Amino acid sequence: MISINDLEWAAGFLEAEGGFHFSRSKHLNVSAGQVQHEPLLRLQGMFGGSLAQYEDKRPNANALYRWSAVHARAAGIAMTLYPLLSPQRQTKIRKALGQWKTIIPQEYRTHCPQGHPLSGDNLYVHHGSRYCKECRGYKSQVERGYRKPVWKNRHPGERVNFQCKRGHAYTEENIYVWRGKRYCKECRKMQMAAWRQSHNLEAG
């Protein structure tokens, strides 16, 4: 059992040193980091989660420690400490929980976003997160130049930057380079056609 005093200490520590957020990788996360690892060990003993050490490359700098909890564990911690936190922290928690509730937590998913099963030989686990080997392998081969992307039947694991924002493939026939940046010829044609039509209407 966690005592009221422990909860009040944890709320005060996370209020000053921690954070509650919904990450870009769609993970609900509660974390805290600092040079002293004893308070982080205490958090880990109370709530679980992971504790990692990072080396600071600056000269004469101490090692940094970071405690974190994700997904359902993070939601439980946030809701438990919610009444003890400041209104500003409570607002961030409500926002993060609202975003998290719109997705299925990763640990409960049976398939990746592209429909491949997250089980058996196709499951790859790294730092507690699950990944699809089929999608990761295809992207790695394309990025290293071992494999060309298939434009007509795009592999679901292919990166979106292989095409423009309107979905036109960045093939040799469809791109031109201006000042080191790629542009889509099809989009350029559409823009010019729209400009000509607008110009003709204004002239008329």
pLDDT along the chain (204 residues), means of 10: 87 89 81 88 89 76 84 88 90 86 64 73 77 72 57 42 66 77 83 76 48
Q: Model pTM? A: 0.51
Helices (H), the chain: 4-17, 38-47, 71-81, 87-100, 133-143, 185-203
Residue 13 corresponds to which tokens in the numbers above? 């520590």
pLDDT for residue 9:
92
Distance (Å) of CA 198 to CA 50, 56, 166, 184? 59, 57, 21, 21
Q: What is the pLDDT of residues 122-139, one digit of tens each?
A: 888 876 677 788 777 766
Q: List the beta bridge partners of residue 53.
A: 65
Whether the CB-CB separation of 95 and 22 falls below 8 Å is answered with: yes
- Nearest C-alpha neighbor of 137 from the set 156, 119, 150, 151: 156
pLDDT for residue 153:
39
Half-sphere exposure of 70 (CA within 13 A, CB side): 15
The phi, psi pair for 33, rounded to 5°, reads -140, 145
Number of other residues whose CB lies within 10 A of the CB of residue 45: 11
Whether the CB-CB separation of 54 and 36 falls below 8 Å is answered with: no
For 4-106, CATH number?
3.10.28.10
Whether the CB-CB separation of 142 and 149 falls below 8 Å is answered with: yes
CA 20 and chain centroid, separation: 14
pLDDT for residue 154:
44
- Boundaries of every domain in the chain: 4-106, 109-162, 168-204
CA dihedral 158, 155, 152, 170 (to 10 degrees): 10
